[in-house]
Amino acid sequence: MKTYLLIIILFASLSSFGQDSTKVDYFKPKMYSIETKDGAIIIGTVVSEDQKHIVLQTKSMGLVTIEIVNIKLKKEIFETSFKKGEYWFENPNGTRYIIGPSAFTLKKGEGYYQNLYLFGQSVNVGITDHITIGGGTEIASLLFAQEAPKILFLTPKVGFDVSPKFKMGVGALYVHVASFDSNDDRTNLGIIYGLGTIGNLDNNFTLGVGWGFHHSKYIDYSTQLTEIDKGVSAKPIITLSGMTRLSKRFGLVTENWIFPISSQEYDLNGSISNTKYDYKAFFSYGCRFMGERMAVDFGFLNNSELDAGIGIPYIDFVVKFGGGKIK
């Protein structure tokens, strides 16, 4: 059943790639989505605009005059944002699946806050239209042990367009893990990766390839000496992820990691004679519930060796900010 759900999500996203073929007529009056400071969202074409007011021709309310000082966000929208006559706001979490990213980047000034399992906190911001940088931490140490967070991470990413339907990106996940007791143990680890994403923000599929690295400092209790362990993975980590938007407020998402697991073979003298690699897959599938500025994901994580039924539940929510301005 889990395999079938993953296939459904991936094929649904693939089958949707060609659906945004509506051409934009740039000679038509510009259409905007305007959010006022009291939270109202008004969509219409511009009839007139000056330094104090903007007048929109709306579908249901006729002419609407809005004072410029009352505008919180103003964003131009196009015909491709309408499905069967209904306006679909932009996917508020289109640059990321659950934990891993797509090759899409945030626009300059856009950002989002993500909360994973309540204890994982992160923020990502678009520095330019092609560079996104983020980071975060956990707050379990603070809440339960009254100690500073033990895990800190950074997530820089650069993305660019190859064609209207294909994006590429490179990035890194860097994690610092401090000691959970009084000694000076600490670990730095992460992954440097490349991504290719086909599709659009609503329906896409991403292939990622990356190499893990680690640098650990720890006390060898048998000798009481400080030891260093470091290295880079000999084989790549592979990710296969996809999302598809089925309605204005609902979509499906899957994120799947394939890790190389090494094992050693020894000769008669006890020396390593050969290193073998087997790939183990960890997969996820879930639902995404979307609002104009917020998304909630709920689903399950699993792999073939876990006796976890349909999987280990996960939940996260994202709140988007920025991304609009008054011109």
Q: 181, exposed or middle or buried, with CB in 10 Å at 0-12, 13-18, 19+?
A: exposed
Stronger pLDDT, 59 or 157, i.e. the higher one: 157
- Mean of the pLDDT values across residues 85-91? 86
Phi, psi of 70 (to 5 degrees): -95, 0
Q: Does the pLDDT value for residue 219 go beyond 80?
A: no
Neighbours of 168 (CB within 10 A): 14
pLDDT of residue 298: 94
Q: Which two tokens stand for residue 90?
A: 């932009």
What span, in angstroms and rounded, lies between the C-alpha atoms of 166 and 171? 17
Specify whether the CB–CB gap between 280 and 77 falls below 8 A. no
Specify whether the CB–CB gap between 211 and 237 falls below 8 A. yes
What span, in angstroms and rounded, lies between the C-alpha atoms of 78 and 264? 57
pLDDT tens for 289-314 read 999 889 999 999 888 777 667 888 99
- Mean of the pLDDT values across residues 68-89? 83
pLDDT tens for 103-130 read 999 999 999 999 998 889 999 999 999 9
pTM, rounded to two decimals? 0.77
- Mean of the pLDDT values across residues 138-152? 86
- Of 124-138, 165-179, 235-249, 251-265, the poorest mean pLDDT is in 251-265
pLDDT of residue 303: 83
pLDDT of residue 13: 55
Q: Does the pLDDT value for residue 190 go beyond 90?
A: yes
Q: Does the pLDDT value for residue 1 go beyond 80?
A: no
Specify whether the CB–CB gap between 159 and 168 falls below 8 A. yes
pLDDT-based confidence at 23, cuts 50/70/90?
Answer: very low
pLDDT of residue 8: 54
Stronger pLDDT, 90 or 15, i.e. the higher one: 90
pLDDT of residue 22: 43
pLDDT tens for 3-17 read 545 555 555 555 555
pLDDT of residue 113: 95
Nearest by Cα to 255 from 6, 57, 4: 6
